[in-house]
Structure 1
Amino acid sequence: MIGKRRGPHDATIEINRADMGKDGDDRGRHAPCPHRKPERAMDAALRQPHAHHLRTATPRGRRRKQGIRMNLFSRYDGSVAFLSSHDDDWARLIDLVGPCRHDPKAAREPYEALVRAIAYQQLTAKAGDAIVGRLKRLFDNSDFPTPEDLIATEFDQLHSCGFSASKIATIKAIARGTLDGLVPTRDIAAAMTDEALIDRMIGIKGIGRWTVEMLLMYSLERMDILPADDFGVCEGYRVLKSLPEQPKPRELREISKPWSPHRTVAAWYLWRIPRERGNVLK
């Protein structure tokens, strides 16, 4: 296992990650999880209208895309309202950061989500994006390499993508686990409880609780996940409460119980607390 993680969102503030790089997503602050949104076919069509519709279709397409995104994000309004009412510190943080823009990638299978999480582990979203991009180029820019692809790929090729030796061992173990049935399909994973899935996945060499929590947050869209081992989440809470040091993961899990069942959104905000110039929330 690789030491304490920085949130997939650690670089969130600087990069506005697409929530888990390419996503602009939300990869928290562990190694900022990557998230750049894959463009929907409908959106692409709206952005490239027929020539004689060019003047009207482009702005219309933009408005429609913005509307779709706003509708998707509105599902967090209840969580945001709940956290805002928790105490004044949370209210100030939410007022500073603005609406929640957590952006999971629900179409991804657990295999892909786990490999991506390892790629971004302890890195910025930009660095993780670069590694995943080089990995995909090994396979002619396929959507994503299959488990068979990873198992057959030589160490030096994966190392050239930016994976460390320990990460190469882990992603190959994930690939083998997928073929053996240890890593479940998305349909099977969706029917499992959070803890059942965590217990099952950490049996894979190199997979820890944080990695599975990223899967739960970004692929399975679970709404009550607080990655307490994540550096960014711990540091965010320290700043939020002006503490002299970060809480221990076990302490933070206990502290976060009153935030349930909205802890995924809580983590999203903790990942985005500005850290420069002291506590700007006071």
Structure 2
Amino acid sequence: MPRYRRGFDVDAAFAYLRKRDRALGAWMRRIGPIEADARWRKSFDPVDALARAILYQQLSGKAAATIVGRVEAAIGSDRLHAGTLGTIDDVALRACGVSGNKALALRDLVRREAAGEIPDRRRMATMQDVAIIDALVPTRGIGRWTVEMMLMFRLGRPDVLPIDDLGIRKGAQRVDGLDAMPTPKSLAERGERWGPYRTYASFYLWRIADMPSPG
């Protein structure tokens, strides 16, 4: 059974993409190398990460952090999982500022963890990207984009391209000088040349999307 290590060689990715795609490579030279994400070296609990993703949805970072802090205080732990979230009822969650829909999503996550449906980090190390996505997206409140962010920033998988992400699409639009953002389908086709380092290409597309326009 193959094992997937967390992270990849960003120097190799930089050299490969510059040679593989001249348009993207020009932007990469302008920006310079992007360092590896520090989170690849840190331990994490997938259930905790998913619970936090649910709580952060559709909120500013500051507002979400406040709510997460209240939940942590209410459960007496800085880890969100079945054992800790099971100690707080829905009324207490609402008092922390958690919406009804998010409370339902957390309950579904806890139920699925207890049933063994949420793979732990050790099990994920033997799973392909698509298998992890298929295992997690049935959870209420967890979509493909959320799992893709886990694959990229927590597991350090090298070949993930979030084709529905607006920042990624905007970056691709600027790279190719398009009048409109590419559709997810056309972006997926465009991104085939970036494999097996589509994650690293995505880092640049986000950076490019945020850069000021010339003039």
Contact kept in structure 2, 1:117 and 1:214, CA below 8 Å: no
Runs of 5+ consecutive residues of structure 1 not aligned to the other structure: 1-72
Letter in 1 for 2:176: K
- Within the candidate set 11, 15, 28, 1:81 is matched to 15
Report how far residue 191 of structure 1 moved: 0.8
One-letter identity of the residue aligned with 1:206: G
Task: Please give the secondary structure, in 2, of the residue aligned with 1:272.
Answer: helix
Paired with 2:30 and 2:65, the residues of 1 have a C-alpha distance of: 27
> What secondary structure does 2:181 align onto?
coil
Q: Give me the whole-angstrom Cα distance separating, in 2, the residues matched to 1:161 and 1:231.
A: 31
1:52-131 aligned at under 5 Å gives the runs 75-101=9-35, 102-105=37-40, 106-131=42-67
Change (3 A) 1:150 1:259: same
Note closer, same or farther for the CA distance 1:221–1:94 as it changes in structure 2 (3 Å cut).
same
1:220-270 CA-partner distances (Å, limit 9, x unpaired): 221111111222211221222222222222221221111111011111111
Relative to structure 1, the CA distance from residue 143 to residue 211 in structure 2 (aligned partners, 3 Å threshold; closer, same or farther) is same
Residue aligning to 2:131: 196
The structure-2 alpha-carbon separation of the partners of 1:122 and 1:89, relative to structure 1 and needing over 3 Å to count, comes to farther
Which residue of 1 is the match for residue 204 of structure 2?
269
Query: CA separation in 1, counterparts of 2:148 and 2:115?
Result: 22
1:93-242 matches, within 5 Å, as 93-101=27-35, 102-105=37-40, 106-140=42-76, 142-242=77-177
Alignment of structure 1 residues 239-250 onto 2, 5 Å: 239-250=174-185
Q: 1:251 aligns with which of 186, 192, 197?
A: 186
> Quick check: 1:239–1:275 contact (8 Å CA) kept in 2?
no
Deviation at 1:195, TM superposition (A): 0.9
Change (3 A) 1:133 1:265: farther
Give the CA deviation at 1:154: 3.2
Distance 2:53 2:177 in 1: 30
Asked if structure 2 preserves the Cα contact closer than 8 Å seen for 1:104 and 1:217, the reply is no
Matched to 1:111, the amino acid is: V
* Number of equivalences: 208
Q: Which moved more, 1:120-129 or 1:195-204?
A: 120-129
For normalisation by structure 2, the TM-score amounts to 0.82
Kindly indicate whether the alpha-carbon contact (under 8 Å) linking 1:109 and 1:185 is maintained by their aligned counterparts in 2: yes
1:232 partner letter:
G
Q: Report if aligned partners of 1:151, 1:176 keep a CA contact under 8 Å in 2.
A: no
CA offsets 1:85-128 (integer angstroms, 9 cap, x no match): 23343223223333213333441121122122223334554554
Question: Which consecutive unaligned segments of at least 5 residues does structure 2 have?
Answer: 1-6
